[in-house]
Amino acid sequence: MKNTVIAVAIDGPAGAGKSTIARAAAEQLGFIYVDTGALYRTIGLAAHRRDIAGTDRVRIIQMLPEISVELVYQDGIQHVLLDGEDVSACIRTPQISVYASQVSSVPEVRAYLLDLQRQMARKSSIIMDGRDIGTVILPQAQVKIFLTASPEARAERRCAELREKGETVTIQEVLADIEARDEKDASRAVAPLKQAEDAVLLDTSALTLEESIAAVLQVIKTVTEGK
């Protein structure tokens, strides 16, 4: 993989551990990890700061030419900038999570961010995760992985994460939320969640985090060495 720009697209349902696994794999390979979710969160934050509802498509579209969104890397750490301001911490609130989900369904928002994401893939070796990376954003990626796990396994992991943060939740509540998100992601009109035809399916239901990272690294090695 030396002297070659490699693009790795990792797609999959909510709670599959895509971001954690992708970030760790990128670090081990010396690739840049692109957190596409942070971009949508930043658009959501911009709307929130302007008192625009996340469902107000017309005003969100009107806002896009007025803002600047950038991903920069300092000491290997990703920072997202909104109009030059580092908002990396501001976008991680539950309220902005809702906004991100809402604005991501607007085709014009996805188009706005499309070129930014593709430019990054042309410049550097990257691992990018999301719902439609291999099918829409980077259809020419050398490596495509569809990372999944059973709803029950994802619910258990998510529940453990929330409890570590001090939240009181039940498996049943988290499982219901995951199943609802799966249905929404798979049935939405714009860039629905689906496995790319040439993606490697990787089910991590029975794997630990370390085993999942190792499995992703092995897929990347196998595919790139075979090209």
45 contacts 91 by C-beta, under 8 angstroms: yes
- Of the CA atoms within 13 Å of residue 79, those in its CB half-sphere come to 12
Cβ proximity of 146 and 16 under 8 Å: no
Residue 3 pLDDT level (bands cut at 50, 70, 90): low
Band (200; pLDDT cuts 50, 70, 90): very high
pLDDT score for 227: 63
The per-residue pLDDT for 105 is 86
Mean pLDDT score across all residues of the chain: 90
Q: What strand order describes the sheet that includes 200-203?
A: 32-35, 126-130, 7-11, 143-148, 200-203
Confidence tier at 2 by pLDDT (50, 70, 90): low
Q: Is the dihedral of CA 129, 130, 134, 140 positive or negative?
A: negative
**pLDDT of res. 97:** 83
| pLDDT computed for residue 123 by the predictor | 87
pLDDT of residue 161: 82
Higher pLDDT, 19 or 222: 222
Tokens of 35: 């957190």
Q: What is the pLDDT of residues 34-69, one digit of tens each?
A: 988 899 999 999 999 999 999 999 999 999 999 999
Q: What is the pLDDT of residues 186-199, one digit of tens each?
A: 887 777 888 999 99
What are the tens digits of pLDDT across the range 96-132? 988 998 998 899 999 999 988 998 899 889 999 988 8
